[in-house]
Structure 1
Amino acid sequence: MNSVEERLAAVRTHIDSICRECGRNPEEVRLIAVSKTKPASLVRQAVEAGQADIGESYVQEFLDKSADPELRDLEVNWHFIGHLQSNKIKYIIDRVCMVHSIDKLSTAKELSKRARAKELTVDYLLEINTSGESTKFGISPQELLDTAPSFFDLPSIRLRGLMTIASPDPRKAPGEFKLLRNLLEKLRSIAPDPSTVTELSMGMSGDFEEAIRAGSTMVRIGTAIFGSR
């Protein structure tokens, strides 16, 4: 079995290749290595191989892992990418560099409240349900367009872009990625400062190639780096 370092190198090479195929600069795509359910020892291997951006999906697992002695001496940029309840925000607010998964205005308001109390400015993304599946979290595309000004008005947090989890159907995913890219352009058209609203967090181990072709700026890859769960 290949090591984390070898799998990470292979993923980076693949990202570079896809970028060059579609005329993009590989530096435009940020790799988030998703360590959900994996031990801190594997995260350490990834960070020591140069992978500073690490994504986690569960609050308690994130808290345990980020405090693990295995990682204490390392610089890690933690991204929270899972569903986030308002009552859990207080536990992560000062420990992450970005929250990818705000899926309602009430949660954004709580994020703003907690950030303001800590005198922080927190970057976040809005999760959009591009597939229309009832089992998925996320704001609908129409709701995003209707409520976007309310998100921009919140203090101490910065809306940096959008996130989605595409349908597992490979025939549908490209259209959903394109939809998110189009929504970002509409969001930028009403943003107070469009230059800060640039991120598209889309694409995972099974579909990141199509996501990059559609304009993804962040791909969240776990299995291809850390192995199957």
Structure 2
Amino acid sequence: MQDVAARLQETRTSIARAARDFGRKPDSVTLIAVSKTKPAEMIVPVLEAGQIDFGENYVQEAKAKWPALRERFPQARLHMIGPLQSNKAREAVALFDAIHSLDRESLARELAREIERAGRAPQLIVQVNTGAEPQKGGVLPQEADAFLALCRSRYGLTIAGLMCIPPAEEPPSPHFALLAKIAARNGLGILSMGMSADYEAAIQLGATHVRVGSAIFGARG
């Protein structure tokens, strides 16, 4: 296993450099270390190196790993970055500090119900399917304004920002620019965009949160 702590530091340095190159403060970009599929023993060195924010794709996997890790590292913040089933809303509200994949009314309804029941409100981020890819979650760009209004007015949800995953075969920058435009006209401050291969382009276009997995933890598996 390669030294994940060293990879983490390299990633932090690269993010800080990109931010400065584009006239931004390094601390304006939050690094989310994507720990999905990674065992707890691989995550511990990253926590020990001071990383706070982590991303997981599945509620069940996160439930299996993170309660014990959080006992040791209570400062850790957990981000749900994968598709979220409506019937997992209760567990997600209890476990995650931020949910980046709000993308349909049924999920908004369940999240609103669970937030009220639990008295705990994770940061909510709406996923936008900027490439209109049928296999991906996310509201379509032309429907984003109406969906944000629905979340706010009908369900009383506080939406913090937007997330996107550009199509793998297309240049990412137009998708990042589109997301930034939607966020700006809706008064949203968080832009969750950019992954290991394209976070510098995302930072150039205003990303506040970048989701980096393989550059820290190595190839998937």
Q: What amino acid does structure 2 have at the position aligned with 1:185?
A: A
**Which residue is equivalent to 1:183?**
182
Q: Note the residue ranges of structure 2 that are not aligned, 5 or more in a row.
A: none
Q: What amino acid does structure 1 have at the position aligned with 2:174?
A: G
Distance in structure 1 (CA, Å) of the matches to 2:109 and 2:197: 33
Find 1:224's aligned residue among 200, 215, 219. 215
Distance in structure 2 (CA, Å) of the matches to 1:71 and 1:4: 19
**Which residue is equivalent to 1:192?**
none
Q: What amino acid does structure 1 have at the position aligned with 2:167?
A: S
Q: What amino acid does structure 1 have at the position aligned with 2:86?
A: S
* Deviations 1:138-160 (CA, angstroms, capped at 9, x unpaired): 000111122321111223x4200
Secondary structure of 1:91's aligned partner? helix
Shift of 1:71: 4.8
Distance in structure 2 (CA, Å) of the matches to 1:31 and 1:173: 18
In 2, are the aligned partners of 1:84 and 1:101 still within 8 Å (CA)? yes
Distance in structure 1 (CA, Å) of the matches to 2:100 and 2:147: 18
Q: Map 1:4-153 to 2 at 5 A.
A: 4-68=4-68, 71-75=70-74, 76-153=76-153
**Which residue is equivalent to 1:213?**
204
Q: What amino acid does structure 1 have at the position aligned with 2:139?
A: I
Shift of 1:95: 1.6
Distance in structure 1 (CA, Å) of the matches to 2:44 and 2:73: 8
Q: Note the residue ranges of structure 1 that are not aligned, 5 or more in a row.
A: 189-196
* Deviations 1:88-132 (CA, angstroms, capped at 9, x unpaired): 111121221100111112201110101101122231100000012
Secondary structure of 2:83's aligned partner? coil
Structure 1-normalised TM-score? 0.91
Q: What amino acid does structure 1 have at the position aligned with 2:4?
A: V
Distance in structure 2 (CA, Å) of the matches to 1:143 and 1:135: 17
In 2, are the aligned partners of 1:44 and 1:71 still within 8 Å (CA)? no
Q: What amino acid does structure 2 have at the position aligned with 1:212?
A: I
Secondary structure of 1:54's aligned partner? strand
In 1, are the aligned partners of 2:93 and 2:121 still within 8 Å (CA)? no
Secondary structure of 1:219's aligned partner? strand
Distance in structure 2 (CA, Å) of the matches to 1:185 and 1:106: 25
Regions of 4+ moved over 4 Å: none
Secondary structure of 1:10's aligned partner? helix
Structure 2-normalised TM-score? 0.94
In 2, are the aligned partners of 1:122 and 1:158 still within 8 Å (CA)? no
Aligned-pair Cα RMSD in Å: 1.3
Q: What amino acid does structure 2 have at the position aligned with 1:209?
A: E
In 2, are the aligned partners of 1:130 and 1:141 still within 8 Å (CA)? yes
In 2, are the aligned partners of 1:40 and 1:71 still within 8 Å (CA)? no
